Amino acid sequence: MRSTTLIAILLYTSTAIGQIDFSKPFQECNVTGSITIYDYKNQQWIFSDTADAKKAMQPASTFKIMNLLIALETGVIKDEQTIVKWVGTTDTTLYGYRPEIYKDMTVKEAFTVSAGWVFIELAKKIGKEKYLHYLKACDYGNLDLSEMGDDFWNFGPFGISPLNQVKFLTKVYEGKVPFSKKNIGILKKVMVSEKTKQYTLRSKTGWTRVDGKDIGWWVGFVERKDNVYFFATRLIKPRKIVNPDFGQCRKNITKTILKQLKAF
């Protein structure tokens, strides 16, 4: 077990690697929220907002990371190439929101394009009893699965904090979760978002709308030869405020700060 020291770095402070401005990227996107980072090599936690880092909210599609692992481990799917049949009508003109995702697709494609209906179908087969077993074993979220619908990660009282997200990702990276090495390997392969000679970025976005708010996530980790940086960025805005860049801001803010930390 790696020992860690929580080091709260305020919005603008001096660190061993120089002056890091955490506030400007959020201000430029006109959003509130936070970023939580764990510098694996130096065993250092970095918070833009320590209070927000501990506040649990719906994980939205970032839960697909856990969902994929549970679906694999329980045998609901064989691997990432398992095809899930579209359960609705084939007339996609009836779907105003992203009609291109309403079709038969592999689990890997569903993860990449964030096709929520695929993971809802998997959730029906998994069942909340099995979910609760694995969530407890992984210390993931607040364990409140009282939401009546299958889509409990988008709506209802189930929540997870950015700090919890990062701790979970760290345990996945180390293989300290109750899933087989094979299934963790499948997840890591599916999570690859960018790959260069310098780094590999594995990540997942999430976005839900609850209680009059837009909640946007981007979580993952950047692997370099010399270090790994784990991150969880969560943005919040009132739905009545129009911000067409809200989705992209999740990534822009994260990358701006990670570049300052020399992760990229």
pLDDT at 2: 46
* pLDDT per residue as tens digits for the range 171-201: 999 999 999 999 999 999 999 999 999 999 9
Q: Choose the weakest-confidence range: 10-19, 113-122, 131-140, 184-193.
A: 10-19
Host H or E run for residue 33: strand 32-39
Fold annotation for 12-260: Beta-lactamase (3.40.710)
- Partnered with residue 220 across adjacent β-strands are 203, 231
The chain-wide mean pLDDT, for the chain, equals: 90
Report d(CA 209, CA 62) in Å as an integer: 14
Q: Which of 34, 61, 114, 203 is catalytic?
A: 61
> pLDDT at residue 79 above 70?
yes
pTM: 0.91
Q: Does 61 participate in catalysis according to the annotation? A: yes
Of the spans 24-28, 30-34, 63-67, which averages the highest pLDDT?
A: 63-67
Q: What integer is the mean pLDDT of 18-26?
A: 80
pLDDT band at 95 (very low <50, low <70, confident <90, very high): low
Range in 82-96, 115-129, 133-147, 189-203 with the lowest mean pLDDT: 82-96
pLDDT by residue (tens digit) across 214-244? 999 999 999 999 999 999 999 999 999 889 9
Q: Among all chains, which residue has been given the structure tokens 């970032």?
A: 62
